[in-house]
Structure 1
Amino acid sequence: MDNPDKAAQAATRAEREAFYARIGADNLAPLWEQLHNLVTPTPRSDCQPAHWSYQKVRPYLTEATGLITAEEAERRVLILENPGLRGKAAITTSLYAGLQAILPGEVARAHRHSQSALRLILEGDGAYTSVNGEKTIMRRGDFVTTPSWTWHDHGNDSDAPMIWLDGLDVQLVGMLDASFAQSSQADRQELLRPVGDSQMRYGNGLAPMDWQPPANKASPLFSYPYERTRASLHAMQSAGEADPCHGYKLRYIDPLTGGPPMPTMGAYAQLLPAGFDPLPYRCSSGTVFAVLEGRVLVELADRRFLAEPNDVFVIPSWAEHRLVPQEKSVLFSFSDRPVQEALGLWREQRGGASGSL
C-alpha cells in the first residue's frame, strides 16, 4: 500500500510547481525557493584561487606582439581569466585584470571610459602614460592610476618592451549598467602640464588653494613611484613589529583626503620579512596580488603554490590563506575593499576560523 504521507507530499509539490509555472509567465518567482542561495551565512563566490606564472605567460605576450600591433588592438592585453569565471573577462566577481605589452616606438592611443584603471609596472623602464594632459614616466614597481573618465594614452619611447598589470572595475561598473567610453581622434593627447606636475602639487603635503575634489572622487596624484613605496615599507619595518597576518603593509592613498586612490579599488604594498610565519587570514574582498620581490608560498585550504617575481595570483572572498615568504618579499595587491567599506559590508577574520569577525 502506498504511503499516504508521500502521496500527499507529491500532490503538494505538484500543486506548487504548477503555481510557480503560472506566476513565472508573469515574471514572478517564489523567494522561499531561493532565499537560502541569496542570503548565505558566509560569501559563496564562483571566483577560485588562481596563479599565473610570469615565466609561462611572458612568451605568450611576446607572441601577441607579433600577431597584432598596438594600433590594431588599441590595448594589446592578455586577460587574466579566473578559472571559475571563464568567459566573463573577470579575475574576481567585481574586477578585471590583464597583462599589457607595448613595444619600443608604439603608442596605445588616447581614450577615456567610466571604468577606473590602475597599472603596476612589471617589466621595462622609460615608457609613459599620459593622464588628463600630464605625462608620467613609468618604471618597474610603479603604481599608476587612470581614474574614471580621464583621457589617457600610453607610449614607449624606450628601447625595450614594457609590460604591466592592468586592473579595472569593469565587472562592478557593468553590474551597475554605467559603462561609457569615448575614443580620441588623436593617438597622443596634448600635454598641458610638465612631467611630475601632480607630484609637486599634491605629493608633498600641499595642494593648490582652489583645489576641489573632482567628480570622479579620485586622487589628483596619478603616479606612486616604487622607489618611495619601498623606502616607506623599510622604514615601517625598522620602526615596529610586523602585523601577525600581513607583515608590514601599507595602503596607497589620495594625499588630500586619506581615502583610496580611486573610489572603487584599493591598492596595497606589503613587505614580508625573511622567516616571517604569518597567521591565517581571510576577508570579504577578493584580492589580486603581484610579486615584486622575493618568493612567496601561498597556502590555502586545498591548494599551495609558489609565487615568484612578476607572478600574479588571486585570493577569493573569504578564502582562508597564508602568504609565507621564502625570502624577504614585497607584494602589490588590489581589491574592491573601498566599495565594501563604503557600504558597511567589509569583514575580515584573523588567526583562523576561531578568530573574531
Structure 2
Amino acid sequence: MNDSRQEPAAAATRAEREAFYARIGADNLAPLWEQLHNLVTRTPRSDCQPAHWSYGKVRPYLTEATSLITAEEAERRVLILENPGLRGKAAITTSLYAGLQAILPGEVARAHRHSQAAMRLILEGSGAYTSVEGEKTIMRRGDFVTTPSWTWHDHGNDSDAPMIWLDGLDVQLVAMLDASFAEASSEDRQELRRPVGDSLLRYGNGLAPVDWTPPANRASPLFCYPYERTRESLLGMQAAGAPDPHLGYKLRYVDPLTGGSPMPTMGAYAQLLPRDFSTASYRCSSGTVFTVLEGRVEVVLDDRVFMAEPNDVFVIPSWTAHRLVAREPSILFSFSDRPVQELLGLWRESRD
C-alpha cells in the first residue's frame, strides 16, 4: 500500500524537477546534482581506446598519398592516427595528436610556426633535415627531434630516398585552452643562422653558454636527441643492473639545463626490454603513445592482445592496465602529457 502511494508522488516530483530544469536551462543554467557523478569520477573515464597501427599496413597508404598530393600542396603530407574512440577529432589520446609524415627526395615542407609544440621520431630513411629557428638538424632513424612552441621550422629531403617520421603534437591541449596561433613564412626555407648540430655541441655535453637564460616557451635548447646516444644509454643501464619489474630499463628525455621535459606539454621516453622479459601489470593516468624501434613486443590488455613490430604505433589510454612482453630484445619510444599532469599534481601510477 505504501509503495502504491509513493509511486505517484515520485512521478510528480520528477515532473516538477524536469520542469524546473527546463526553466533554468533557458537562462543557461543546469543542476550539478544531475551531472556530478559524470564530472567527478572515482577513476579516469576516457573516450580514448587502446589502438594499434601496423606499419606494414599503413606504409602503402603513405606511398599512395605521395602520388596523390605534393608536399607543397599539402603543406604537411601527414596521415593522422585517429583513435577509434575519438574519430573526427584528429586525436590519438584526449590530449595529444599523432600522425605519420612523408617527404620525398627534393621536396620541402615550407616554413611556418604555431603555438602547438611538436616532436618527431624518425622511422624510415636518413639524411633529410628539419630546421628550427635557423638551425638545421640532419635526421636519422630513431632520432627524437623537437619543434618547440612558436619556433620557425621547415623540413626538406636532400637524400635519395623517402623519409617518414612520427609526428606528435599537443594540439588538443592547446585547443582546450583556446590558445592556438599560427603564422606562415613568406619563404619555403628559413635562413640558416647556425651550423648543423650547433645546439648539440652547445648544450649536449654537460655545458651551456655562460649567458644562457630559459626561453619563453620553456623548451629544451636541444633540437635533436640522436638515437645512437639513446641506445648506448639503455644498453649501459642493462649492463649495470636488473630491470625494473614494471618498466624494464626506461629513461626519460630531458632538457639538459633544467632536468625537465624537452617541452612543457609533452614528455618523451625510451625503454629497453630484454628478450622474454614480461613487465608486471602497470597503469598510469597519462594516455601514452608507443612506437617500436627494435624487436617485437606483445601488448597484453585485459580484453585484447596484439603484437607490435618495428615502426608500429600503439596507444594505451589513461588508467588502462597492461603488460609488455618482449619476444625479442626490444626498444620502444613513447610520449605522453605526463609533464602537464605532474605540474598540476594530477599524475599517478599503479604498479600491480
Q: CA deviation at 1:278?
A: 1.3
Q: CA deviation at 1:156?
A: 0.2
Give the equivalent residue in structure 2 for 1:133. 134
Q: What letter is aligned with 1:129?
A: T
Q: Give CA-to-partner distance per residue, 1:241-281, whole Å, 9 cap, x none.
A: 10001100000000000000000000000000012121000
Q: What letter is aligned with 2:33?
A: W
Give the equivalent residue in structure 2 for 1:67. 68
Give the equivalent residue in structure 1 for 2:48. 47
Give the equivalent residue in structure 2 for 1:112. 113
Q: Give CA-to-partner distance per residue, 1:18-41, whole Å, 9 cap, x none.
A: 000000000000000000000000
Q: CA deviation at 1:326?
A: 0.4
Give the equivalent residue in structure 2 for 1:238. 239
Q: Give CA-to-partner distance per residue, 1:68-127, whole Å, 9 cap, x none.
A: 000000000000000000000000000000000000000000000000000000000000
1:250 to 2:240 alignment = no
Give the equivalent residue in structure 2 for 1:186. 187
For the residue of structure 1 that corresponds to 2:292, the secondary structure is strand
Structure 2 residue runs of 5 or longer lacking an equivalent are none
Q: CA deviation at 1:4?
A: 1.4
Same amino acid, percent of matched pairs: 84
Give the equivalent residue in structure 1 for 2:84. 83
Give the equivalent residue in structure 1 for 2:124. 123
Q: CA deviation at 1:3?
A: 1.4
User: TM-score normalised to the size of structure 1?
Assistant: 0.98
1:152-167 correspondence runs (5 A)? 152-167=153-168
Give the equivalent residue in structure 2 for 1:355. none
Counterpart CA distance in 1 for 2:161 and 2:212 is 38
Structure 1 residue runs of 5 or longer lacking an equivalent are 352-357
Q: What letter is aligned with 1:161?
A: P
Counterpart CA distance in 2 for 1:275 and 1:171 is 37
Q: What letter is aligned with 1:324?
A: V
1:1-357 correspondence runs (5 A)? 3-351=4-352
For the residue of structure 1 that corresponds to 2:299, the secondary structure is strand
Counterpart CA distance in 2 for 1:240 and 1:6 is 68
Counterpart CA distance in 2 for 1:57 and 1:209 is 47
Q: CA deviation at 1:48?
A: 0.0
User: TM-score normalised to the size of structure 2?
Assistant: 0.99
For the residue of structure 2 that corresponds to 1:3, the secondary structure is helix
Q: CA deviation at 1:195?
A: 0.3
Q: CA deviation at 1:240?
A: 1.2
Counterpart CA distance in 2 for 1:157 and 1:278 is 41
Counterpart CA distance in 2 for 1:196 and 1:172 is 30
Q: What letter is aligned with 2:311?
A: N
Q: What letter is aligned with 2:239?
A: S
- The ranges of structure 1 where at least 4 consecutive aligned residues each deviate by more than 6 angstroms after the TM superposition are none
Counterpart CA distance in 2 for 1:201 and 1:299 is 42
